[in-house]
Structure 1
Amino acid sequence: MSEQPLSAKGTRLNKRGLETRQALLRTALECLAAGGPEAVSASLIAREAGVTWGTVQHQFGDVDGLWAALLEDVLGGGPGKSTATALPVPETSDVGERVDAVVGMLWSAMDLPAFRAIRTLREALPRHRDELEAAYPATAAAIARWDASWTATMEQAFAGLDLDPVRLARVRSLLPGAMRGLHDEQYLSSYTDSAEARRGLAEALTSYLSDQHTPRKGS
């Protein structure tokens, strides 16, 4: 059972406070998932949720606390959400089937409101890690936990297979960006067959992971 969230001052929230917190997080997710020029606006989220900025401060402290709480809420799962480690793994030793499962999971996740919301948020945050950590320390820590969860997902997905850990780490780093690129391409009046593109990506990754030769340093 997860711990009950506290206010920004560390006090226990009553039933109404918990309901207000969930309403704010739900509204934040909806606003970010919808996108638009004002999507990443804590003031807009407060107005849409029907509360004052003081309520947001009581719940989360500041905008950094709000974004961190949203990231943690989505990562933990909940109604209409998907925890980052929820991946059904085929009971097979076939590397290709494992790769297909991961690619399929990521492709489906791209259209979930929670993942659209997180993408909108991350695109609005500082691009450089040092700037992010300085301006949004709690959010940066939550993003680090997302990355750790993705690492755990990949380890789970390929557990029991004799794969080179360096190559698996490279695939883990490559996949999110590659899948976002393919997903975006389908909305750009493209003549590219996205299904064939995903199949080609999966086949290339399968071949790369199946090669038992240890990659050379720097290659």
Structure 2
Amino acid sequence: MPGGSGAAGAVLSARGTRLNKKGRETRRQVLREAVLCLSEGTPESVSANAIAQRAGVTWGTIQHQFGDVDGLWAALLDFVAGHADLRTIATPDHPDIADRVEAVIDMLWGFLDLPGAAAIYQLRLSLPHQAAQLEESYPQTARAIAHWDVEWTDLCERCFRGLGLPADRLMRVRHFLPGALRGLYNERNLSTYTDSHEARRGLMDALSAYLSS
């Protein structure tokens, strides 16, 4: 697709033309700098112009590579997804529910420490929070976010496969677990006396009891 991969894995510009070696490297440089810029979490970090300046390219280059801001954000989400491919993550196979829950929470917590996770969080904070408005204003970005949600659903089901858990309870865990962990993670980074380790342990115990009952 434009701004992404075409036939035989070719990397395409926003106009659908194949990028040469220099163009592909420029694209990677812009996306790497976008991840670092967004992960810093400053108010001006969610800025295509700031990212272009940081990457040493012009706005015309951003347009050639991604088309517009929507194309840039969608490419950023795909770029991070390519480095944290949820489909290739080795999932836990412990027979005990509590051990399985602990492994999943530890895995997700580790991901939150990565620059890519911080970048996605800052980006999503700046985007419209209503799905309809997001899809209207940033259609490519909305599709990329939806793809992340599909991959998370598949990962969650694989992580708990074989335990015979009720489908409705597993569905609820899938919906609230990312937000719950993000809340604990953010709380850890504030001036607080909250013990994030004990908080995660409490979440593990609660989830294990919920899924076991």
The answer, yes or no, to whether TM exceeds 0.5 is yes
Q: Check whether the contact 1:6–1:13 (CA below 8 A) recurs between aligned residues.
A: yes
**Residue of structure 1 aligned with 2:135, choices 133, 136, 147:** 133
Give 5+ residue unaligned stretches, structure 1.
212-219
Partner of 1:181: 183
Whether 1:110 and 2:109 are equivalent positions in the alignment is: no
CA RMSD of aligned residues (A): 1.4
Whether 1:34 and 2:36 are equivalent positions in the alignment is: no
2 CA distance for matches of 1:200 and 1:88?
Answer: 25
2 CA distance for matches of 1:210 and 1:86?
Answer: 27
**Residue of structure 1 aligned with 2:159, choices 145, 157, 160:** 157
Q: Which letter maps to 2:67?
A: G
Structure richer in helix, relative to its length? 2
2 CA distance for matches of 1:98 and 1:151?
Answer: 16
Partner of 2:90: 88
Q: Which letter maps to 1:16?
A: K
Q: Which letter maps to 1:99?
A: V
1 CA distance for matches of 2:139 and 2:11?
Answer: 19
Whether 1:64 and 2:66 are equivalent positions in the alignment is: no
Displacement after TM superposition at 1:19 (Å): 0.5
After TM superposition, the runs of 4+ consecutive aligned structure 1 residues lying more than 6 A away are none
Q: Secondary structure at the match of 2:44?
A: coil
After superposition, the Cα gap between the structure-2 partners of 1:186 and 1:178, relative to the gap in structure 1 and judged at 3 Å, is: same
2 CA distance for matches of 1:86 and 1:100?
Answer: 19
Q: Which letter maps to 1:20?
A: T
Displacement after TM superposition at 1:86 (Å): 4.7
Q: Secondary structure at the match of 2:86?
A: coil
Q: Check whether the contact 1:87–1:105 (CA below 8 A) recurs between aligned residues.
A: no
Please give the residue correspondences for 1:139-150 in structure 2 after superposition, counting only pairs within 5 Å: 139-150=141-152
Q: Secondary structure at the match of 2:172?
A: helix
Q: Secondary structure at the match of 1:38?
A: helix
**Residue of structure 2 aligned with 1:124, choices 123, 126, 135:** 126
2 CA distance for matches of 1:98 and 1:133?
Answer: 35
After superposition, the Cα gap between the structure-2 partners of 1:190 and 1:86, relative to the gap in structure 1 and judged at 3 Å, is: farther
Deviates more, 1:186-195 or 1:129-138: 186-195
Q: Check whether the contact 2:92–2:104 (CA below 8 A) recurs between aligned residues.
A: no
Map Cα deviations across residues 30-52 of structure 1 (whole Å, 9 max, x no partner).
Answer: 10011212101101111111111
Give 5+ residue unaligned stretches, structure 2.
none
1 CA distance for matches of 2:9 and 2:162?
Answer: 32
Q: Check whether the contact 1:163–1:209 (CA below 8 A) recurs between aligned residues.
A: yes
Q: How many residues align?
A: 207
